[in-house]
């Protein structure tokens, strides 16, 4: 019997809440362990409390139109407010301090009352994807909080974010289907999945799962992880689609696919283990290389159709090698603790990065906000 079958009630799928990257068990464990001053949860919570975005009383700056790419960019306002809402929601969940809950609620309500459009050049799809799933996660944490207008927030997600997510996954901005890097697909898949869960819309959730398994673009699992080395010395590895580009975007991919797998896990689908642990092998590969070790590399060519620009990578990129990103504890604690599998490179990378911070701790630019972070306090087991 599959994990998902266990969630079926009366012939339909019951959506689990909270059911995005944080489950009720995650939140309860963090609350109990932090209160007991146990490590590593206490240090992880210390990173959260020290982040300026988590301060209670932070005032939102909602915009009717958010622009990423081209003239008039203002998307930094959006991602800063999303991370403030998320971090305050976490602090409320962990400590019970209503000042943080009120701050998260007020930020979410202000945006759902104001935002009408996400636009810009092609980068608008990155904004809709990355900030879509992150925004939905903050709202999921605040479900049921006094004064939080969940209905209006869900309407915003369905009317503003989902259409862009769906458009990108279906026609890739009118470009060749393999034109865009894996992360473009991944963030939009994550947003569709998160919106489906937040809105109890199983069709959207299923759309994301199906794309993960069989999608035409570079974010589906077999295209994001094109080459598997089951006989690699020291254990199976798998090459990531952006490995020849740079390591910053490659680790971003770990965070985006990790979030998708965790959301699906909380809804009863094991995408972590899909296709013989294909994601695990890719994460081992990325971790091993970024720890300074050698990995195999197969020449990677894409865009070979008549309407595509031909591109190829012949060697793995060392650009941003070893860069810190708060993506590893989520992956480590799933494979090493939940599944009891040996993932030495993932584990070493997680230990090197611990305790993980979040948005604002990894640089002031948008790349520092591509993942929500705080994996140590939320996923340690």
Per-residue pLDDT, averaged over 210-232, amounts to: 97
| Pairwise CA distance, residues 346 & 348, whole Å | 6
Q: What is the pLDDT of residue 304?
A: 59
Three-state secondary structure call for residue 23: strand
Q: What is the pLDDT of residue 18?
A: 96
pLDDT in tens, 48-98: 999 999 999 999 999 999 999 999 999 999 999 999 999 999 999 999 999
Per-residue pLDDT, averaged over 249-267, amounts to: 97
Residue 346 C-alpha from the chain's centroid: 17
pLDDT of 12 higher than 60: no
State the pTM of this model: 0.95
Per-residue pLDDT, averaged over 372-378, amounts to: 97
pLDDT of 136 higher than 70: yes
Q: What is the pLDDT of residue 211?
A: 98
| Pairwise CA distance, residues 344 & 331, whole Å | 12
| Pairwise CA distance, residues 295 & 288, whole Å | 7
Encoded tokens for 125: 């799809």
Q: What is the pLDDT of residue 22?
A: 97
Q: What is the pLDDT of residue 285?
A: 98
pLDDT of 31 higher than 50: yes
The bridge status of strand 65-67 relative to strand 117-119 is parallel
Q: What is the pLDDT of residue 9?
A: 36
| Pairwise CA distance, residues 324 & 328, whole Å | 10
Q: What is the pLDDT of residue 239?
A: 98
Q: What is the pLDDT of residue 176?
A: 87
Per-residue pLDDT, averaged over 221-232, amounts to: 97
| Pairwise CA distance, residues 171 & 184, whole Å | 12
pLDDT of 5 higher than 60: no
Q: What is the pLDDT of residue 78?
A: 98
Per-residue pLDDT, averaged over 321-334, amounts to: 96
pLDDT > 90: what percent of the chain?
90
**DSSP bridge pairs for 313:** 300
Per-residue pLDDT, averaged over 298-323, amounts to: 84
Query: What confidence category does residue 310 fall into, taking pLDDT thresholds of 50, 70 and 90?
Result: confident
Domains annotated on the chain, with CATH = 20-379 (1.50.10.100)
Per-residue pLDDT, averaged over 119-138, amounts to: 98
pLDDT of 363 higher than 90: no
């Amino acid at each position: 019997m599959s994990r998902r079958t266990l969630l079926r009630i009366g012939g339909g799928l019951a959506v689990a809440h909270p059911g995005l990257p944080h489950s009720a068990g995650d939140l309860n464990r963090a609350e109990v362990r932090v209160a007991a001053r146990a490590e590593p949860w206490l240090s992880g919570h210390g990173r959260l409390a020290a982040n300026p975005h988590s301060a209670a009383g932070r005032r939102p700056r909602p915009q009717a139109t958010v622009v990423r790419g081209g003239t008039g960019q203002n998307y930094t306002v959006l991602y800063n407010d999303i991370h403030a809402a998320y971090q305050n929601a976490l602090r409320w969940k962990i400590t019970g301090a209503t000042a943080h809950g009120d701050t998260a609620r007020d930020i979410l309500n202000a945006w759902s009352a104001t935002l009408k459009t996400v636009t810009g050049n092609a980068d608008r799809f990155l904004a809709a994807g990355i900030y879509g799933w992150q925004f939905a996660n903050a709202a999921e944490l605040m479900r049921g909080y006094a004064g939080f207008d969940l209905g209006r927030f869900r309407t915003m997600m369905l009317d503003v974010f989902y259409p862009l997510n769906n458009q990108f996954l279906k026609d890739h901005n009118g470009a060749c289907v393999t034109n865009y890097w894996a992360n473009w697909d991944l963030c939009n898949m994550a947003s569709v999945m998160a919106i489906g869960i937040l809105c109890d819309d199983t069709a959207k959730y299923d759309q994301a799962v199906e794309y993960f398994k069989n999608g035409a673009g570079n974010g589906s699992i077999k295209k994001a992880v094109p080459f598997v080395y089951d006989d690699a010395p020291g254990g199976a590895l798998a090459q990531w689609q952006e490995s020849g580009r740079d390591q910053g975007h490659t680790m971003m991919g770990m965070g985006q696919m990790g979030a998708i797998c965790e959301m699906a896990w909380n809804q009863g689908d094991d995408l972590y283990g899909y296709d013989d642990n294909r994601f695990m092998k890719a994460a081992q590969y990325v971790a091993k290389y970024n720890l300074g070790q050698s990995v195999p590399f197969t020449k990677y060519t894409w865009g070979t159709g008549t309407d595509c620009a031909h591109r190829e990578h012949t060697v793995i990129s060392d650009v941003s090698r070893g860069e810190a990103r708060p993506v590893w504890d989520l992956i480590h604690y799933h494979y090493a603790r939940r599944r009891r599998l040996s993932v030495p490179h993932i584990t070493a990378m997680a230990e090197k990065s611990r305790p993980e911070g979040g948005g604002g701790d990894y640089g002031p630019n948008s790349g520092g906000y591509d993942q929500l972070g705080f994996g140590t306090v939320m996923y340690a087991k």
